[in-house]
């Protein structure tokens, strides 16, 4: 069955290479470690990872493959093994190394990239502060230039300005890319990045540098998160990562981008890969959890039933099928969406000529959207899977506790999901889209009343196919639920309508609310819903386009059924909205639930096939119940 | 403000005594322990708990207070301190000691209860098996009587029959109450309980007893869960806990209850206190998480807004308010429902004459309902609170990781929530209610077609008040949303309608489905919905009755507003159903959302007051951010 090939997507070779190169249990997470054991093992294994995995995203001239897409996919594969290792590798090569590559210039690349790729120089990405995680534009670390010494004075003015939750800080990092407010010749020029040594060759903090340990966390124990505080630390002028902003020896500032905020968000934009990676890795964890829960449910039995000679397997219960199979369908949808996003990111980041701002911001918006979708889906689905495995699901040896604890923070780092949803919503309003992608909560609401114009829904995948599907049947009440064009039209229509409502309310609020803050705040729930509706729609489009790439007829037929389940369960979950806005009648709505249940039952015999297609090697699953439960059931079957 | 008194409920004195006797941080959970450290600390602290807390539920003649309600409330208070300690205490006194008290007779009480209460004899409750957690009627451990030796042969026939997930097994327990299939004179008499020594005075497993360790779990590291396997272990005849079934020296069996299954479920019914306790303790964890998240949200600031001189506090954002305040309203509702349940349980268990079967099964059904509601609410709300606290919420020192990890299994133990919902649904159908409370999945579907008659919704609290409220206004479209009678009528009507649908479908399935299993399975989702609708309704009734007990006008007014939020957010969350069944028009449905948002905003200034009313001592909250964030914000405010 060609299903796995389709899911492996455009970088199938990278996935297969990872399965081969990282085979066995060598890199598999170890349940029940102490924090010290986890940190030691992850740091050791980081250095044992194949070089091509570490280097994939870096320019060829510095030992890399110049393949950003491969770097993301390799990280997704690491996500099946050990999320701490995935995050540690992401910090080292994606964030720290990525910042040096994207924000530094030739001299930085020549001096540092090779050591970063080899793991000889472990480093940190120090942007987040205790007081500012989401609104990093307003971070408080300062870095002031002194022409007399031709160096900067890096300083943490108070506790809330500490760099915090910094991976590689508490134990291993020797250098940090530190983001700080640049001041020179008495003027502030916004946030810039500096390369700052933090530990000496013996591992001791350098003068003026204080390093703290964030200590025990809910999960990701193998990542040594800590905080950094700088007490007037001297940083050489050449340590400014100066691709987007330069300081001359006399302190004169220059930059190709005049506006401070625009410049900062342009810098951030080059780091979009982290967000794309986190979304993809979250989906790896989801796939792992579903594989464990569905395979367990195929062997685990409980309660007798008339007409059945043995107790009933869990997967035979409608409620059990529903929760797992619907989550599985969404996971399939997100897999296609992620594959498409990685391809887009790869194109943009590999382009020889700089990409226009509009495409860059579309990429950032899509990355935010899929980060939100995949991380919330992961944390909810893994919870469902833990409960579906009962008491066994609570034991660390069965892997689900680790998956839950490790993925929990994915909804917060690389962008808080609620804040990211607002970013997505703003991107849908043409008045904002052409401005720089500010992360703030619609701060410039003065903007809003004048600039919010018509929104334009852009189709994002398989445009002509989708247009044909939607046009294929006349509008009207009685198109079958399994008509793909109807499904797409329903989601497009909802997105358009909700966005329209956001615009209407913003204009009304701007005219009537006394408090400027309320102009935005009163519409926050609608804005978040608009973003969610947008995400559902683009994900369905990606699923449709993905099915087109499948050549095997059996695979296409099965994927089509799974796509029906994704689309219809998505509509069903929001039937309140569709009924409220009379896109569904009460009769159709009840019928919809029956149809969804019917597809769930149709897919019952394929549950295992569908998770097998994720292609997670047995040794990577490492869940004791998958070995033990079949054997235990055999004991009981013999006894009768 | 008298709010705390109202929430403290009927056993307010017990709560206050706990706050006093367990003051300070001595019993507070310690984040970041190893499994060995956690087990050692919890076992040590178990023995340091005040005797009245340990003894509350036991008969006075054996050193107890004969106060079942106080035992539950004391456990709920322990839930604020350390859920491992709460569970360990619950295993020791509630399950192990409770089984000896409820299922044993005088000689067992005289020999064991005092040592159990004092903690000198630590023991296990060994019912669950690896292969049977939910359907314990079908557990596989056997215990066969041999008249020649006047003893039983207790045996684990294969691995799946091991007693598993047993608290107090892996480290501490010396004796276990073991549930096994009793066989005598060649006949099986169903599941009975036996008192079985498992370790000698030196802590070594006794001959024939194998003890294993379940190892690392997602949480509750302080509870030493393990498995027990018996290899033809001899158990004296007098070690049968023989209140409900006796074996004479010659092996003759006798019992006041003829039917094996009825006898077993009667025995289980005496142990309902565990289920009531788990629900209440889950709510304690929810309250703790909400207190931390809401107080943090009152100080934590992020993003500027026009017209605001400082960054905006998180609690000012509509989306933040919505998620936290709606969860808070549900928590208030469940607090009143739990208080009412504990009172009912106390009455039933304190009754001098045995209570009629109908009342006992109603108690069991209500206990199941509130266990489901409170544990799912806990796990979802604590997740929301963790995300609301961002990166800080991920650090163990801020308490949320421990609350999440510890409560996660509460949706599974003391009854898997999905199975319990089915139990609740069955209790609503009069054909089942008068039968014994079988836990199986509607196994006897032959039953169904003949016996399912009209269902009767019984009002469960403040009956006459509720009747007056519902009757107070004529039926019709335009009653205000805040009309309590309208709210009650909506939930009653939904419950009635969904139940009616379950009955209709069961009858139809019994006539048309080929596979008997499908008669039930096809309607499983409707049955679960019927149970959920029932739970929402009885919880609202309890909230209404609870407000009546409040004497302070300001408290009543605030509680009434919170009750509006509970009722209306519950209806809003299921507006799909209400629209589908034309109980709401599209126009009313949109208005409902506006009204909910309006109440959320009205309650904004009261968020802290509402969590303060939970009365969790500062030392028990033990969340570092509550001390640190105000200080850090002051630093930043000064800087401007």
Q: Note whether B113 and B58 are within 8 A (CB).
A: yes
The pTM is what?
A: 0.95
| Nearest CA distance, B600 vs chain A (angstrom) | 12
Taking alpha carbons only, the member of A617, A613, A632, A123 closest to residue A335 is A613
Q: Which residue has the tokens 């706990």?
A: B18
Residue B2 vs residues A332, A469, A614, B547, B599: alpha-carbon distances, Å: 53, 62, 57, 12, 21
Q: What is d(CA A442, CA A433) in angstroms, rounded to the nearest whole number?
A: 12
Cα A191 to the chain's mean position, in Å? 24
Which of A395, A576, A632 lies closest to B159 in CB terms? A632
User: What residues have CB less than 8 Å from A598, skipping those under 6 apart?
Assistant: none
Give the per-residue pLDDT at A456: 55
Q: Note whether A4 and A601 are within 8 A (CB).
A: no
Q: Under an 8 A CB cutoff, do B441 and A317 touch?
A: yes
Give the per-residue pLDDT at A441: 44
Locate A188 and state its tokens. 């502030």
Give the per-residue pLDDT at A449: 42
Which of A130, A216, A632 lies closest to B130 in CB terms? A632
pLDDT at A53 over 70: yes
Q: Is B105 exposed, middle or buried (0-12, 13-18, 19+ CB in 10 A)?
A: middle
Q: By the CB < 8 Å criterion, does B165 face chain A?
A: yes
| Nearest CA distance, A370 vs chain B (angstrom) | 18
| Nearest CA distance, A496 vs chain B (angstrom) | 18
Q: By the CB < 8 Å criterion, does B5 face chain A?
A: no
DSSP output for A599-611: HHHHTGGGHHHHH
Q: By the CB < 8 Å criterion, does A581 face chain B?
A: yes
Percent of chain A with pLDDT over 90: 79
pLDDT at B447 over 50: no
Q: By the CB < 8 Å criterion, does A476 face chain B?
A: no
Is residue B368 within a helix (H) or strand (E), and if so which, with residue range? helix B357-388
Q: By the CB < 8 Å criterion, does B532 face chain A?
A: no
pLDDT tens-digit series, residues B307-335: 788 899 999 999 999 999 999 999 999 99
Q: What is d(CA A478, CA B81) in angstroms, rounded to the nearest whole number?
A: 58
| Nearest CA distance, B298 vs chain A (angstrom) | 14
Taking alpha carbons only, the member of B604, B611, B568, B607 closest to residue B588 is B568
Which of A216, A308, A445 lies closest to B517 in CB terms? A308
Q: Under an 8 A CB cutoff, do A579 and B581 touch?
A: no
pLDDT tens-digit series, residues B173-218: 999 999 999 999 999 999 999 999 999 999 999 999 999 999 999 9
Q: Average pLDDT for residues B378-401, to the nearest whole number?
A: 97
Is residue A209 within a helix (H) or strand (E), and if so which, with residue range? strand A209-213
Q: What is d(CA A615, CA A330) in angstroms, rounded to the nearest whole number?
A: 17
Chain B hits for A590, Cβ within 8 Å: 580
Q: Confidence band (pLDDT; 50, 70, 90) for A436? A: very low
pLDDT tens-digit series, residues B582-610: 999 999 999 999 999 999 999 999 999 99
Q: Confidence band (pLDDT; 50, 70, 90) for B152? A: very high
Residue B597's SS3 state is: helix
Give the per-residue pLDDT at B452: 47
pLDDT at A444 over 50: no
Q: Under an 8 A CB cutoff, do B391 and A412 touch?
A: yes
| Nearest CA distance, B386 vs chain A (angstrom) | 9
Q: Left, alpha or beta for A168 (phi > 0: left; psi -120 to 50: alpha)?
A: left
Chain A hits for B130, Cβ within 8 Å: 632
Taking alpha carbons only, the member of B100, B111, B377 closest to residue B241 is B100
Q: Note whether B413 and B271 are within 8 A (CB).
A: no
Q: Note whether B424 and A242 are within 8 A (CB).
A: no
Q: By the CB < 8 Å criterion, does B317 face chain A?
A: yes
A325 or A55, which is more confident?
A: A325
Residue length of chain A: 640
φ and ψ of A465, to 5 deg: -60, -45
Which of A379, A413, A446 lies closest to B391 in CB terms? A413
Q: Confidence band (pLDDT; 50, 70, 90) for B63? A: confident
Q: By the CB < 8 Å criterion, does A135 face chain B?
A: yes
| Nearest CA distance, B27 vs chain A (angstrom) | 20
Q: Average pLDDT for residues B72-101, to the nearest whole number?
A: 97
Which of A32, A411, A525 lies closest to B215 in CB terms? A32
Taking alpha carbons only, the member of A407, A388, A408, A412 closest to residue A398 is A388
User: What residues have CB less than 8 Å from A69, skipping those under 6 apart?
Assistant: A10, A11, A14, A342, A343, A345, A346
Which of B397, B440, B525 lies closest to A318 in CB terms? B525
Taking alpha carbons only, the member of A250, A459, A438 closest to residue A361 is A438
Q: By the CB < 8 Å criterion, does B302 face chain A?
A: yes
Q: Under an 8 A CB cutoff, do B412 and A394 touch?
A: yes
Give the per-residue pLDDT at A460: 65
Scanning every residue of chain A, which has its alpha carbon at the shortest distance from the alpha carbon of B395?
A217
Q: By the CB < 8 Å criterion, does A475 face chain B?
A: no
Q: Under an 8 A CB cutoff, do A639 and B317 touch?
A: no
Q: Under an 8 A CB cutoff, do A580 and B590 touch?
A: yes
φ and ψ of A13, to 5 deg: -65, -40
Scanning every residue of chain B, which has its alpha carbon at the shortest distance from the alpha carbon of A640?
B140
Q: Under an 8 A CB cutoff, do B307 and A516 touch?
A: yes
B640 or B263, which is more confident?
A: B263
| Nearest CA distance, A310 vs chain B (angstrom) | 12
Scanning every residue of chain A, which has its alpha carbon at the shortest distance from the alpha carbon of B404?
A218
Locate B117 and state its tokens. 């209460």
**Surface of B (100-129) touching A: CB under 8 A:** 128
Scanning every residue of chain A, which has its alpha carbon at the shortest distance from the alpha carbon of B140?
A636
Q: Note whether B70 and B51 are within 8 A (CB).
A: no
Q: What is d(CA B124, CA A423) in angstroms, rounded to the nearest whole number?
A: 53
**Surface of B (170-229) touching A: CB under 8 A:** 214-219
Chain B hits for A188, Cβ within 8 Å: none
| Nearest CA distance, B419 vs chain A (angstrom) | 10
B467 or A203, which is more confident?
A: A203
Q: By the CB < 8 Å criterion, does B517 face chain A?
A: yes
**Surface of A (13-52) touching B: CB under 8 A:** 31-32, 34-35
Q: Confidence band (pLDDT; 50, 70, 90) for A438? A: very low
- Write down the mean pLDDT value for chain B: 92
Q: Note whether B135 and A303 are within 8 A (CB).
A: yes
Q: Under an 8 A CB cutoff, do A412 and B394 touch?
A: yes
Give the per-residue pLDDT at B441: 44
pLDDT at B456 over 90: no
Chain B hits for A528, Cβ within 8 Å: 319
Q: By the CB < 8 Å criterion, does A411 face chain B?
A: yes
Percent of chain B with pLDDT over 90: 79
User: What residues have CB less than 8 Å from B464, skipping those under 6 apart?
Assistant: none
State the best of B278, B304, B519 to mutate against chain A, taking most chain A CBs within 10 Å: B304
pLDDT tens-digit series, residues B514-565: 888 888 889 999 999 999 999 999 999 999 999 999 999 999 999 999 999 9
DSSP output for A147-208: TTTTEEEEE--SGGGSEEEETTTTTT-SEEEEEEEEEETTEEEEEEEEEEE-B-TTSPBPTT
Q: Note whether A576 and A494 are within 8 A (CB).
A: no
A228 or A361, which is more confident?
A: A228
Q: Confidence band (pLDDT; 50, 70, 90) for A437? A: very low
Q: Is B513 exposed, middle or buried (0-12, 13-18, 19+ CB in 10 A)?
A: middle
Give the per-residue pLDDT at B446: 40
Q: Under an 8 A CB cutoff, do B31 and A158 touch?
A: no
Q: Is B358 exposed, middle or buried (0-12, 13-18, 19+ CB in 10 A)?
A: exposed
Give the per-residue pLDDT at A305: 83
Scanning every residue of chain A, which has its alpha carbon at the shortest distance from the alpha carbon of B443?
A305
Angle, alpha carbons A580-A581-A585 (nearest 5°): 75
Q: Under an 8 A CB cutoff, do B580 and A581 touch?
A: no
DSSP output for A424-480: HHHHTSHHHHTS----SSS--HHHHHHH-----PPP-SSHHHHHHHHHTS-SSTT--
pLDDT at A71 over 90: yes
| Nearest CA distance, A586 vs chain B (angstrom) | 4
Q: Under an 8 A CB cutoff, do B303 and A441 touch?
A: yes
Locate B15 and state its tokens. 């709560």
């Amino acid at each position: 069955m060609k299903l796995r090939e389709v899911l492996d997507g455009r970088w199938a070779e990278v996935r297969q290479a990872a399965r081969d190169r990282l085979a066995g249990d060598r890199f598999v997470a170890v349940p029940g470690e102490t924090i010290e054991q986890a940190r030691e093992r992850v740091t050791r294994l980081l250095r044992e990872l194949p070089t091509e995995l570490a280097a994939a995203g870096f320019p060829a001239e510095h030992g890399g493959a110049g393949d950003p897409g491969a770097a993301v996919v390799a990280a997704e594969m690491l996500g099946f093994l050990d999320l701490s290792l995935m995050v540690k590798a992401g910090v080292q090569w994606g964030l720290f190394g990525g910042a040096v590559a994207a924000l530094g210039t030739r001299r930085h690349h020549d001096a540092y990239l090779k050591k970063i790729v080899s793991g000889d120089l472990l480093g940190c990405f120090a942007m987040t502060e205790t007081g500012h995680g989401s609104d990093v534009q307003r971070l408080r670390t300062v870095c002031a230039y002194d022409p007399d010494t031709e160096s900067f004075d890096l300083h943490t003015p108070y506790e809330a300005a500490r760099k915090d939750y910094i991976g590689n800080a508490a134990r291993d990092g020797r250098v940090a890319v530190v983001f700080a407010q640049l001041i020179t010749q008495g003027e502030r020029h916004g946030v810039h990045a500096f390369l700052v040594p933090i530990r000496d060759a013996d591992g001791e903090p350098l003068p003026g540098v204080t390093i703290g340990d964030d200590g025990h966390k809910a999960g990701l124990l193998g990542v040594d998160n800590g905080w950094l505080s700088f007490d007037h630390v001297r940083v050489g002028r050449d340590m400014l990562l100066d691709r987007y902003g330069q300081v001359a020896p006399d302190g004169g500032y220059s930059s190709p981008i005049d506006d401070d905020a625009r410049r900062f968000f342009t810098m951030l934009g080059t780091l979009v890969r982290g967000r794309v990676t986190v979304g993809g890795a979250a989906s790896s964890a989801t796939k792992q959890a579903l594989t464990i829960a569905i395979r367990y449910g195929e062997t685990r039995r409980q309660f007798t039933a008339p007409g059945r000679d043995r107790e009933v397997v869990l997967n035979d219960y409608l409620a059990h099928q529903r929760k797992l199979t619907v989550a599985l369908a969404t996971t399939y949808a997100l897999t296609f969406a992620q594959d498409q996003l990685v391809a887009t990111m790869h194109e943009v980041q590999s382009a020889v000529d700089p990409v226009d701002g509009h495409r860059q911001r579309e990429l950032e918006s899509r990355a935010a959207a899929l980060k939100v979708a995949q991380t919330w889906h992961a944390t909810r689905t893994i919870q469902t899977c833990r409960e579906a495995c009962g008491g066994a699901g609570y034991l660390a040896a069965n892997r689900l506790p680790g998956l839950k604890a490790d993925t929990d923070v994915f909804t917060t780092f690389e962008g808080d999901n609620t804040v990211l949803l607002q970013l997505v919503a703003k991107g849908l309003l043409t008045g904002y889209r052409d401005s720089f992608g500010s992360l703030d909560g619609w701060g410039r609401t003065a903007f809003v009343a004048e600039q919010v114009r018509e929104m334009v829904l852009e189709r994002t995948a398989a445009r002509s196919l989708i247009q044909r599907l939607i046009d294929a049947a006349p509008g009207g009440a009685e198109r079958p639920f399994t008509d793909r064009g109807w499904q797409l039209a329903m989601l497009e229509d909802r997105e358009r309508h909700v966005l329209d409502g956001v615009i209407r309310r913003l204009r009304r609020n701007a005219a009537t609310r006394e408090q400027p803050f309320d102009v935005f705040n009163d519409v926050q729930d609608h804005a978040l819903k608009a973003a969610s509706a947008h995400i559902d729609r683009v994900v369905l489009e990606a699923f449709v386009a993905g099915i087109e790439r499948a050549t095997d007829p059996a695979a296409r037929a099965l994927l089509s059924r799974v796509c029906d389940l994704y689309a219809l369960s998505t509509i069903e979950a929001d039937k309140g909205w569709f009924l409220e806005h009379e896109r569904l009648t009460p009769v159709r709505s009840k019928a919809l639930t029956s149809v969804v249940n019917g597809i769930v039952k149709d897919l019952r015999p394929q549950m295992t096939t569908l998770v097998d297609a994720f292609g997670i090697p047995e040794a990577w699953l490492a869940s004791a119940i998958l070995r033990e439960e079949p054997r235990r059931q055999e004991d009981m079957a013999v006894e009768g």
